């Protein structure tokens, strides 16, 4: 794939294409001039692409290598079979299927409620004026400076205490983990959404109010639709973030059946590192497909969301 993109260095093809955009048709450049101005950029691009893609190709090839170890994985694409993908779902000590489902459920539920809680707060800050508004906004920023990961010990001890009293939401429960994640639902998300909510003109709310809609209806049926793009971004970022979160998940989820992909695959690798490499690789490929696909499909929004506020 990457070598194809190198083809333009023959010059003629590219200069012909180059004329399509830009101001009218440029005259053909001699190869030297072309290379000095544009050609070398392709070489850099190819090198960067190889650097970026190689580990991904490697893991994909390893996953197709039946019964492969770390050593056999080195001969790229020498043997191709889906055996490892099947083995993945048959290992009893490493219930990949359960991990996958757990990760999806935890990720989706967390993302949904993160978006909901964040949007409620952002709407409030964007449309209502109340005492303590500025203070709360700043307080949210300050609280975020102590990320949940730093509080892992305290969260663990808190969950231990909770499970003494309410085992259903304490240590080793997925509801407990989701609640912990929701502790971080406000904060950065609220800021991201707050900025976007502010771009929706308040006259829309006012018009709806005059038409007799209550605040709840304005929020749920009008505003949420207008800010859908930012909801998607926050939900997606939260989903991807939750799926690859390791620290809290590993501290809170104890049973192999209840763990997420991040925790499970890490244990898998540390248990039998080089022996079952292709099975691990298959697990990694499956685990990555969804986040990568989502990311590529929505990259424009994500990039916009990431740079919003700083790049004007």
Partner 1 sequence: MTITEDQDARSDAPATPRQRRAARIAEAAGGGWGLILLKIVVLGLILALAVYAALVLIRMDQWVPAVLVVAAALLAVWIYSGRGRLPAKYLMPGLVFLFVFQVFAALYTGYVAFTNYGTGHNSTKESAVNALMLSAQERVPDSPEYELTILDQLGELSFLVTDPDGEVLIGGEDRPLEEVDDAEMRGGKAVALDGYTTLEFAEIVANQERISEMAVPLSDDPNDGALRTPDGSIAYVYTSTLVYDEAAGTMTDTRTGVVYSDIGTGAFTAEDGTELKPGWQIVVGFDNFTRAFAEESIRGPFLSVLVWTFAFALLSVLTCFALGLFLAIVFNDPRMKSKKYYRVLMILPYAFPGFLSALVWAGMMNQEFGFLNVVLFGGADIPWLTNEWLAKASIILVNLWLGFPYMFLICTGALQSIPEDVQEAARVDGASAWQVFRSIKLPLLLVAVAPLLISSFAFNFNNFSLIYMLTGGGPRDVTAGVNVGATDILITMVYKVAFVGSSADYGLASAFSIIIFILVATISVLAFRRTKALEDLN
Restricting to residues 221-240, name those near partner 1 by CB under 8 A.
240
**43 backbone dihedrals φ, ψ, rounded to 5°:** -65, -45
**Residue list 76-115, contact with partner 1 (CB under 8 A):** none
Dihedral sign for Cα atoms in the order 22, 27, 29, 33 = negative
CB 225 within 8 A of CB 251: no
Q: Does 135 bind partner 1 (CB under 8 A)?
A: no
Q: Does 214 bind partner 1 (CB under 8 A)?
A: yes
Q: In the complex with partner 1, which residue's Cβ is closer, 164 or 257?
A: 164
3-state DSSP assignment of residue 51: helix
Which residue from 12, 17, 201, 257 is in contact with partner 1, where contact means CB under 8 A?
Answer: 17
Question: Which residues have C-beta within 8 Å of that of residue 50, sequence separation ≥ 6?
Answer: 2
**Residue list 274-293, contact with partner 1 (CB under 8 A):** 274, 277, 280-281, 284, 287-288, 291-292
Q: Does 156 bind partner 1 (CB under 8 A)?
A: yes
* In 40-95, alpha helices (H): 40-64, 83-88
Q: Does 121 bind partner 1 (CB under 8 A)?
A: yes
Q: Does 210 bind partner 1 (CB under 8 A)?
A: yes
Least separation in angstroms between CB 81 and partner 1: 19
Return the structure tokens found at 17. Answer: 């294409």
Residue 198 CA, distance from chain mean position: 25
Q: In the complex with partner 1, which residue's Cβ is closer, 95 or 121?
A: 121
Q: Does 190 bind partner 1 (CB under 8 A)?
A: yes
If one counts every other C-beta atom within 10 angstroms of the C-beta of residue 82, the result is: 11
Which residue from 87, 137, 200, 215 is in contact with partner 1, where contact means CB under 8 A?
Answer: 215
Which residue from 30, 33, 53, 202 is in contact with partner 1, where contact means CB under 8 A?
Answer: 53
CB 197 within 8 A of CB 231: no
Closest residue by Cα to residue 166 from 151, 176, 180, 181: 176
Q: Does 157 bind partner 1 (CB under 8 A)?
A: yes
If one counts every other C-beta atom within 10 angstroms of the C-beta of residue 293, the result is: 10
Q: Does 168 bind partner 1 (CB under 8 A)?
A: no
CB 186 within 8 A of CB 118: yes
Which residue from 36, 147, 198, 255 is in contact with partner 1, where contact means CB under 8 A?
Answer: 147
Least separation in angstroms between CB 109 and partner 1: 13
Q: Does 200 bind partner 1 (CB under 8 A)?
A: no
Which residue from 82, 86, 149, 254 is in contact with partner 1, where contact means CB under 8 A?
Answer: 149
């Amino acid at each position: 794939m990457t070598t194809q993109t190198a083809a333009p260095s023959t010059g003629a093809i590219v200069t012909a294409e180059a004329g399509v955009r830009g101001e009218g048709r440029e005259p053909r450049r001699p190869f030297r001039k072309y290379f000095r101005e544009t050609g070398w950029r392709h070489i850099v691009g190819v090198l960067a692409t190889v650097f970026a893609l190689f580990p991904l190709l490697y893991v994909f090839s390893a996953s197709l290598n039946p019964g492969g170890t770390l050593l056999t994985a080195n001969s790229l694409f020498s043997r191709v079979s889906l055996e490892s993908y099947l083995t993945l779902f048959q290992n009893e000590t490493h219930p990949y299927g359960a991990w996958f489902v757990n990760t999806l459920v935890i990720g989706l539920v967390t993302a949904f409620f993160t978006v909901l809680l964040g949007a409620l707060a952002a709407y409030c800050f964007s449309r209502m004026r109340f005492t303590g508004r500025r203070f709360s906004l700043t307080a949210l920023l300050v609280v975020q400076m102590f990320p949940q990961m730093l509080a892992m010990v305290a969260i663990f001890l808190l969950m231990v205490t909770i499970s003494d009293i309410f085992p259903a939401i304490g240590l080793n429960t997925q509801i407990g983990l989701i609640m912990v994640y929701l502790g971080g639902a406000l904060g950065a998300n609220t800021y991201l959404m707050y900025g976007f909510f502010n771009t929706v003109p308040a006259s829309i709310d006012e018009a709806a109010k005059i038409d007799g809609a209550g605040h709840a209806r304005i929020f749920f049926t009008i505003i949420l639709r207008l800010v859908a793009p930012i909801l998607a971004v926050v939900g997606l970022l939260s989903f991807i973030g939750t799926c690859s979160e390791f620290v809290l998940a590993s501290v809170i989820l104890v049973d192999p059946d209840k763990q997420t992909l991040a925790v499970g695959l890490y244990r898998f690798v540390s248990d039998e590192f080089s022996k079952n490499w292709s099975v691990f690789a298959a697990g990694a490929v499956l685990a990555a497909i969804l986040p990568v696909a989502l990311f590529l499909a929505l990259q424009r929004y994500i990039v916009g969301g990431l740079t919003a506020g700083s790049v004007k």
